[in-house]
Amino acid sequence: MFTKHLYLIFFLVMSFTQKGLACNGGCPAGGGYLGIVPQFSKNFVGLRYRVRSFESHNHDAANQSSLFQFQTAEMWGRFYPSKRIQAFVFLPFQMNSEKIAKGVNQVQNIGDISFVFNYNLLNTGDSVGCYWKHNLLLGIGAKLPTGKYQQRNESKQIYPLAFQPGTGAYSGIFSAIYTLRKGKIGFNSNATYYYNGQNELEYSFGNMLSLSGNMFYWMKWGNVSFLPSIGTYNEIAARDIDNGYYVNNTGGSLGYLSIGSDVYLNRLALGLTVQTPYLVQIPENAMKNDFRMIASATV
């Protein structure tokens, strides 16, 4: 039965993938978005697909535009070593492409594996006397340099680091997840901070803070439960550092309107979220037509 569920997850996530490609997609950042993950006492394993697309001007003599697609197919899971401790593990496969007038640049490989241990500091979900249900988790983890970060094109030139599947550096992860619920209505917020180390090329990506907040509503129809949500997702990144010097055209802030829904049928859970920007504060503000999508399936 478990194997059948995994085959079904693979089919459904790949179906979502085709829809995402029709809208374009991919991203080097954006992995900080966890979304609403209910059922706090439940272990799960599944697949998640993230895609982002945007246009960017090269600002060279020809003033050409590039269409970037950053796609991530990711195995992920949550496990409970003890009642108050939960562990998240993320195993990504990165697929990045850049379409230009001369053709397409493309890299595909395993990305940087990451994990986070959360401690359940507050949980009143089982308290009968509590009118408002609270849940607060504090987490710490790391991102490991498992992805390749010196991939080359056909001319043997190394692609820019932001285009590589991996970073070549360790990163520390610090997070907080808070959920407030009253009956069928609730609010979920997530803050994650990435402290990025330096790789052997003496390059370090800027530290990044991601913030999300979502209102959600529980609905049920027969044996199927629905959890629609709407909220915001924000990224605030410092400038990259290359051999001790700040890198131009790096860092900045992005804000997205986030709309999605989860569907639950017994142990099977499906999720789909789309994000569109409402705030773009980056150097030269050259990015446009930005779109993100996240699809997931777990058992």
Q: Which residue has the higher pLDDT, 166 or 56?
A: 166
Q: Return the percentage of the chain with pLDDT > 70, whole number.
A: 84
Provide the pLDDT for residue 45. Answer: 95
pLDDT tens for each residue of 193-230: 999 999 999 999 999 999 999 999 999 999 999 999 99
- Cα–Cα distance list, 64 to 55, 59, 67, 151, 286 (Å): 10, 7, 10, 23, 12
Averaged pLDDT of the chain? 86
Provide the pLDDT for residue 5. Answer: 47
Instruction: Say if residue 238's pLDDT is above 80.
Output: yes
| Interval 16-38 mean pLDDT | 45
Amino acid identity at 182: K
**The tokens of 201 are what?**
């090329």
Instruction: Say if residue 131's pLDDT is above 90.
Output: no
Please answer whether residues 226 and 209 qualify as being in contact, where contact means their C-beta atoms are separated by less than 8 angstroms.
Answer: no
Helices (H) and strands (E) in the chain, counts: 1, 17
Q: Which residue has the higher pLDDT, 93 or 7?
A: 93
Provide the pLDDT for residue 150. Answer: 95
Cα separation, 163 vs 108, in Å, equals 10
Residues constituting the chain:
299
pLDDT tens for each residue of 184-194: 999 999 999 99
pTM of the complete model beyond 0.85? yes
Amino acid identity at 168: G
- Cα–Cα distance list, 217 to 20, 37, 39, 146, 220 (Å): 25, 13, 14, 38, 10
Cβ neighbours of residue 186 under 8 Å, at least 6 residues apart? 133, 179, 180, 215, 216, 217, 218
Cα separation, 150 vs 159, in Å, equals 7
Cα separation, 10 vs 212, in Å, equals 27
Provide the pLDDT for residue 40. Answer: 57
Instruction: Say if residue 124's pLDDT is above 70.
Output: yes
Cβ neighbours of residue 77 under 8 Å, at least 6 residues apart? 43, 44, 45, 46, 88, 89, 298
Instruction: Say if residue 24's pLDDT is above 70.
Output: no
Residues paired with 225 in a beta bridge: 220, 264
pLDDT-based confidence at residue 173 (cuts at 50, 70, 90): very high
Cα separation, 203 vs 176, in Å, equals 28
Please answer whether residues 167 and 147 qualify as being in contact, where contact means their C-beta atoms are separated by less than 8 angstroms.
Answer: yes
Please answer whether residues 95 and 80 qualify as being in contact, where contact means their C-beta atoms are separated by less than 8 angstroms.
Answer: no
Cα separation, 49 vs 296, in Å, equals 6
**Containing H/E element for 5?**
helix 2-22
Amino acid identity at 155: S
Instruction: Say if residue 285's pLDDT is above 70.
Output: no
Torsion angle defined by CA atoms of residues 254, 258, 264 and 270, in that order, rounded to the nearest 10 degrees: -60
Cα separation, 247 vs 122, in Å, equals 41
Q: Which residue bears the tokens 């979220």?
A: 273
**The tokens of 274 are what?**
């789309």
